[in-house]
Amino acid sequence: MAADWRSRTNDITYLLDMIIQEYAPRILEGTLQMTISSLEYSTYVGRVAIGAVLRGSLQNGQQVPC
């Protein structure tokens, strides 16, 4: 796979790079915005939310006010 379909190559590096470039997540700056798909409660850690971050970012173990 290459940028020019007539060029012969022995690997698919170009194809994989193009997939990453096109579909890599884009981080939008701003306050946290998250779509929650599952909400649970743990007696050890409290509320646990699972979902997709649409704007902003989270760090591993970060506490977020509800």
pLDDT of residue 38: 93
> What is the distance between the alpha carbons of residues 65 and 56, in angstroms, rounded to a whole number?
14
> What is the distance between the alpha carbons of residues 40 and 14, in angstroms, rounded to a whole number?
42
Mean pLDDT by 10 residues, the chain (66 residues): 81 89 81 91 90 87 80
pLDDT of residue 30: 84
pTM: 0.50
For residue 46, list its beta bridge partners. Answer: 42
Q: Residue 18's CB: how many other CB atoms inside 10 A?
A: 13
pLDDT of residue 39: 93
pLDDT of residue 41: 94
